[in-house]
Amino acid sequence: MKILAIGDITSPGGALHLEKNLWAIRLKFGIDFCVVNGENASFISGISQDTAEKLLRSGADVITGGNHTMQNHQAQRMLDEFPEVLRPINYGDGAPGHGYTVINTGARRILVINAMGNVHIEPQLDMPYSYIETVLRQEKGNYDLSILDIHAEATGEKLAVAHTFDGRINVVFGTHTHVPTADASILPRGTGYISDVGMCGESGGILGMEIGSVIFKMKTKLPGKFKCAEGAPFADGVIFTVNEANGRVTEIKRIKF
């Protein structure tokens, strides 16, 4: 089975790029299941319902979130209605929406968990370990393969989470930094891992944003709104090939389109 993870969408332009290209990429590489981190895909903080529906039609099976997911009430309301759109599970039971879902593709049942780290990132949530453990225990027997998006700043924290669940979660990928890492690896018990998938948005800027607006905010510390970069859009992705007989990842391939 081939699972495609796509990094943080940074703008509506990134969402439009996937709308135009994702199904073709799925066909080209024989992708069976696709997870997209989409929390910044709209002009609002937190994904809008319209953008979420567009991404699901365009080839995303599940949309994960992160530290900006809950910053907009419109996004919060939508999370309760769409089991395919997740927010970090360690927000706790009182938060709107869901931290995990099980998608039945007809041939397989795929568990997808969205969690957030708590090192150098705001808001600072509970550590994700116990939340993930609870899901694996509660859903035991209800899924065939499992995926975790760990949305975190610190690469060491992401890797610690991956090693904790090595052999128990098939695919663990990191999001949030918008920069693809070169540490794709198969852990000792067969889990496929990468610290960060990268991003999906306009090129020619700083992490998808216009250079001048980023530098101004960093130098002055004044409040300001980032502007999207103006280069051609692109998407970073990682394909994990999983041996369904034993659950071990056999190949990890980075792509950019």
Q: Is 68 a catalytic residue?
A: yes
For residue 119, give the amino acid letter.
V
Distance, in Å, from the CA atom of 51 to the CA atom of 165, rounded to the nearest integer, reads: 32
Burial (CB count <10 Å: 0-12, 13-18, 19+), residue 204: exposed
Nearest to 161 by CA among 180, 144, 142, 175: 175
Give the 3-state secondary structure of residue 99.
Answer: coil
Q: Which of 17, 68, 120, 176 is catalytic?
A: 68
Which residues sit opposite 202 in a β-bridge? 233
Asked whether 216 and 48 are in contact (CB, 8 A), the reply is: no
CA neighbor of 170 nearest in space, from 214, 108, 255, 216? 108
Alpha carbons 73 and 253: distance in angstroms, whole number:
37
CA distance 84 to 118: 24
Catalytic residue positions, numbered: 68
